Every structure is written in C-alpha cells, then in structure tokens.
Amino acid sequence: MWRRIRTNRAFQQAAGTTFANYFKLVANTTRFVIEPADIFDVIDEKMPVIVTFWHGQHFLTPFAMKPHHKAKVLISRHADAEINAIAAEKLGVGTIRGSGATSRHDFHRKGAVSATYEMLETLRQGTNVAMTADVPKIARKAGLGVVTIARYSGRPILPLAMATRNRITLKSWDRASLNLPFGPGAAVVGEPVYVPRDADDAALAAARAQVQERLEAVTARAEELVGRAGGKSR
C-alpha cells in the first residue's frame, strides 16, 4: 500500500511542494550566521564550483547560494528521492538524476555513468553542481565520487555544512536533520579542494581524505555556531 502511495505522481508532487514550502519557512525564520563572511565573493571568483555536503544535512542547502548562483544537484533515481527532486526544482535548483554505487552493476543500474557526464557538462557550461560526499548508505564517510568529478572538470570542491539549533535528528542511516523554524542557524564553507587532472589513485585517495577532513571541520564549526557542539539530537 505504502509503495503504491509513494510512487503515485500526484502524491509525489504534493509532498515535494509541501517540503519546499516548509523549508522556505525554516530558511526565512532562521537567523543564519555565514562563515566566512565573504564566502559569496569567494564563490563568485571560483564559479562554477562543486558544492559538497553530508547526506542528511542537505535540506537547507538550496538556500546557501545567492539567486544568481545557478546550480544543479545530484539526486538518486530511487522512487523515494523523487520527492526530493520535486522539492529542489520548486526551490529553483536543477536536478541531475543518478547516484553513487558500491559495485560495477550498481554503477550502471543507478545511472552513475550518465549522471557523471551530465555533471561534467553542467560545470562546463558554467553552472554549479551540488552533491553529497558520502559513500552510498555509509553516513559521513566521503567517497571518490566528488573528487572524480573535480578531477575531470578541473573545478574546485567547496565543503559545506548547514545546521540549525532547532531540529529533530531522524533515525535514518544518514542521521538526517529535520530542521525546525525560529532559531539560530549556521552555514560554514571550508577551504576548497582541488584535484589535478593527472591525479593517480594515491592522489585521489589523498583528495578524498581532504574532503573528509574539511567536511568534518565545517560540520563541527556549524554545530558550535548554533550552540549544538557534539551534534546532540533533540
């Protein structure tokens, strides 16, 4: 019964629209601190960029960019992700459908090949790309996906963390934060990560480790700024 409901297009449209409107409310009623304060100047100088963040911290990321910062976000082809895609588009963010994989079979089945080409073309055209850094279904462990896109595109990776003091941490694999309105929030961007085009396996592994380290650092800083050091759930 639930599968039929969640794959119904009318339900997906209604749910996606509801989520988009809800997170507009959260963004408009949250007192955000942005760090560094000149980050929008930095982004303007480096565009297009690859914005990356942890899965489960993604709900407010459409509000991290200025209106003139065009972006597309990578979203899974899974039926449950269709609602996320609709919400993103309602918020003015384009979508690229596909996801990472843990095997060669999954790499093709999940659309990773076509999504990779689309992300590279999107960046070539001057539009920013946003994507989660996590290994599929392994929370807060950066995979090679984002550094591979950086390698072939030549564009910098910007690690991003967004947090709100008022939130509910869901009991999901990614420890997703359901942000709540009317409270302090923080958006923290780390130093960019560059990956040379001729990077070998060792260099890619080093870049992945750098993404991991910087995402952990900006996440800790965002939590500190909203008074939630340690990331305790509500």
What is the full per-residue pLDDT of the chain (234 aa) written as tens digits? 667 777 889 999 999 999 999 999 999 999 999 999 999 888 899 999 999 999 989 899 999 888 888 999 999 887 778 999 999 999 999 999 986 544 444 444 456 788 999 999 999 999 999 999 999 888 899 999 999 999 999 999 999 999 999 999 998 888 899 999 999 999 999 999 999 999 999 999 999 999 999 999 999 999 999 998 754 444
68 domain residue, yes or no: yes
Is the model's pTM score more than 0.85? Answer: yes
If one counts the domains in the chain, the total is 1
Answer yes or no: are the C-beta atoms of 158 and 100 closer than 8 Å.
Answer: no
Q: Is there a domain that residue 127 lies in?
A: yes
In a domain, 233, yes or no: no
Query: Does residue 234 form part of some domain?
Result: no
Is 232 domain-assigned? no
Q: Is 162 within the bounds of a domain?
A: yes
* 230 falls within a domain: no
231 located within any domain? no
Answer whether 128's CB lies under 8 Å from 193's CB: no
Q: Which structural domain, as residue segments, surrounds residue 126?
A: 2-225
